[in-house]
Amino acid sequence: MLWAVLLERWFYFAAVAPRAAKKAVTLWSERSEHQSWNAKMIRQEIVSRQDIENKKGLPIVKVLIALCPLLGLLGTVVGM
Protein backbone atom coordinates (compact mmCIF):
# COMPACT_ATOMS: atom_id res chain seq x y z
CA MET A 1 0.00 0.00 0.00
CA LEU A 2 2.81 2.41 0.90
CA TRP A 3 4.49 1.83 -2.45
CA ALA A 4 1.25 2.45 -4.32
CA VAL A 5 0.71 5.78 -2.56
CA LEU A 6 4.35 6.77 -3.07
CA LEU A 7 4.21 5.90 -6.77
CA GLU A 8 1.00 7.89 -7.18
CA ARG A 9 2.59 10.94 -5.55
CA TRP A 10 5.74 10.53 -7.64
CA PHE A 11 3.65 10.35 -10.82
CA TYR A 12 1.70 13.42 -9.74
CA PHE A 13 4.84 15.48 -9.08
CA ALA A 14 6.57 14.23 -12.24
CA ALA A 15 3.73 14.49 -14.74
CA VAL A 16 0.64 16.28 -13.44
CA ALA A 17 2.00 19.00 -11.15
CA PRO A 18 4.09 20.80 -13.80
CA ARG A 19 1.06 21.06 -16.08
CA ALA A 20 -1.15 22.27 -13.22
CA ALA A 21 1.44 24.86 -12.20
CA LYS A 22 1.73 26.07 -15.79
CA LYS A 23 -2.06 26.35 -15.99
CA ALA A 24 -2.12 28.36 -12.74
CA VAL A 25 0.59 30.72 -14.01
CA THR A 26 -1.28 31.16 -17.29
CA LEU A 27 -4.51 31.87 -15.43
CA TRP A 28 -2.74 34.57 -13.39
CA SER A 29 -0.90 36.02 -16.40
CA GLU A 30 -4.12 36.42 -18.39
CA ARG A 31 -5.52 38.81 -15.79
CA SER A 32 -5.40 42.43 -16.87
CA GLU A 33 -4.42 43.83 -13.48
CA HIS A 34 -2.35 42.39 -10.65
CA GLN A 35 -2.15 45.13 -8.02
CA SER A 36 -5.63 45.47 -6.51
CA TRP A 37 -6.75 43.77 -3.33
CA ASN A 38 -9.16 41.62 -5.34
CA ALA A 39 -6.36 40.48 -7.66
CA LYS A 40 -4.16 39.56 -4.71
CA MET A 41 -6.98 37.49 -3.20
CA ILE A 42 -7.46 35.70 -6.51
CA ARG A 43 -3.73 35.00 -6.66
CA GLN A 44 -3.83 33.66 -3.11
CA GLU A 45 -6.71 31.37 -4.07
CA ILE A 46 -4.80 30.03 -7.08
CA VAL A 47 -1.74 29.34 -4.93
CA SER A 48 -3.84 27.74 -2.18
CA ARG A 49 -5.57 25.39 -4.59
CA GLN A 50 -2.22 24.29 -6.01
CA ASP A 51 -0.85 23.78 -2.49
CA ILE A 52 -3.85 21.64 -1.51
CA GLU A 53 -3.37 19.46 -4.60
CA ASN A 54 0.34 19.08 -3.83
CA LYS A 55 -0.32 17.98 -0.25
CA LYS A 56 -3.13 15.55 -1.07
CA GLY A 57 -2.20 12.04 0.04
CA LEU A 58 0.79 13.07 2.15
CA PRO A 59 -0.92 12.40 5.52
CA ILE A 60 -1.53 8.81 4.36
CA VAL A 61 2.16 8.48 3.51
CA LYS A 62 3.15 9.77 6.95
CA VAL A 63 0.86 7.29 8.70
CA LEU A 64 2.06 4.37 6.59
CA ILE A 65 5.70 5.28 7.17
CA ALA A 66 5.09 5.17 10.92
CA LEU A 67 2.95 2.03 10.77
CA CYS A 68 4.98 -0.23 8.45
CA PRO A 69 7.91 -0.86 10.83
CA LEU A 70 5.45 -1.68 13.61
CA LEU A 71 3.65 -4.19 11.40
CA GLY A 72 6.98 -5.76 10.47
CA LEU A 73 7.92 -6.08 14.12
CA LEU A 74 4.51 -7.55 14.91
CA GLY A 75 4.96 -10.13 12.16
CA THR A 76 8.36 -11.07 13.54
CA VAL A 77 7.02 -11.49 17.08
CA VAL A 78 3.95 -13.46 15.99
CA GLY A 79 6.09 -15.69 13.77
CA MET A 80 8.28 -16.78 16.68
* CA–CA dist 9, 15 (Å, integer): 10
Q: How many helices (H) and strands (E) does the chain have?
A: 4, 0
Domain ranges of the chain: 2-79
In the predicted structure, residue 80 carries a pLDDT above the cut 70: no
Residue 72's pLDDT is: 83
Residue 6's pLDDT is: 86
Whether the pTM exceeds 0.85: the reply is no
In the predicted structure, residue 69 carries a pLDDT above the cut 90: no
For the stretch 4-59, pLDDT in tens is 888 988 998 899 999 999 999 999 999 889 999 999 999 999 999 999 998 988 88
